[in-house]
Amino acid sequence: MTDQPDVSRANSARTAVARTVRTFVVVFALLTIVAFLGLELLATRGVVDLTGIVNWVLIPLVLGVSTLVTGWLVNGGYERFDADPSAAGRFGWLVLLYVPFALLPTRMALDAFGFEYFGGSAIVLGLAIVLAGWLVYGGGDSLGIETRHVGHAAIASIVLLVGGSVIASTVASGGLLGPAETGLVAVAAQLVALWVGFSGTVDRLLS
């Protein structure tokens, strides 16, 4: 009986450490991408000169900020937002992998409409953060959308883009689609991919 409190404390400690590590990894990866895109956007406008010195300054800065943000989140920050600390890993997978792939047609549409590469990437990242946060912390549960549905949307986006590229290179090789038309087709592909993923179509086909 006397060992039970020790076991309970050990389990609690392991859970706390795992939660902290997951949170730090997600925060560090996200801040690294944000910092990289921000610097590239500033560099394209001639505001900063990307050199090795900038990179050496950026790495410890991101590490320091990530440590501070992680400490704040695990020591009351999650509770302040009424967020589930155990969902950090799921949020990380969504915001860093599933959602960006699911939004590939949007990225293509932004290119077609004249957005520069890093500007379009920043917009997609912002959308990914908002969508992943909404799905993990309330929105997904209310609509019955799970991580696998976002994965289905990502696969649908890739299939549609590959199929569209093949068709464009064979049937419309003469340049029948201009930038505006290409952008509109990409928007339509995005809507189809999201419908395939979030409507449960794949689940019904596999059941």
From 31, 58, 82, the end of a domain falls on 82
pLDDT value of position 165: 76
Kindly state whether residues 72 and 129 are assigned to the same domain.
no
Query: Whole-model pTM?
Result: 0.80
Kindly state whether residues 104 and 186 are assigned to the same domain.
yes
pLDDT value of position 3: 58
pLDDT value of position 128: 92
Please check whether residue 29 is in contact with residue 93, taking contact to mean a CB–CB distance below 8 angstroms: no
Kindly state whether residues 73 and 12 are assigned to the same domain.
yes
Kindly state whether residues 127 and 73 are assigned to the same domain.
no
Kindly state whether residues 47 and 133 are assigned to the same domain.
no
Kindly state whether residues 52 and 108 are assigned to the same domain.
no
The backbone region for 200, taken as left when phi is positive above 0, alpha when psi lies in -120 to 50, beta otherwise, is left
Q: How many domains does the chain have?
A: 2
pLDDT digits (tens, 9 = 90+) for 19-61: 888 889 999 999 988 888 888 887 777 666 666 656 677 888 8
Kindly state whether residues 64 and 113 are assigned to the same domain.
no
From 36, 63, 82, the end of a domain falls on 82
Kindly state whether residues 73 and 170 are assigned to the same domain.
no
pLDDT value of position 158: 94
Q: Which residues contact 44 (CB under 8 A, 6 or more apart)?
A: 116, 118
Please check whether residue 82 is in contact with residue 100, taking contact to mean a CB–CB distance below 8 angstroms: no
Kindly state whether residues 44 and 103 are assigned to the same domain.
no
Domain range holding 12? Answer: 1-82
Kindly state whether residues 118 and 160 are assigned to the same domain.
yes
C-alpha–C-alpha distance, residues 45 and 36, integer Å: 14
pLDDT value of position 69: 93
Average pLDDT of each block of 10 consecutive residues along the chain (207 residues)? Answer: 60 80 91 86 72 71 92 87 80 90 93 89 91 82 84 93 77 66 89 91 81
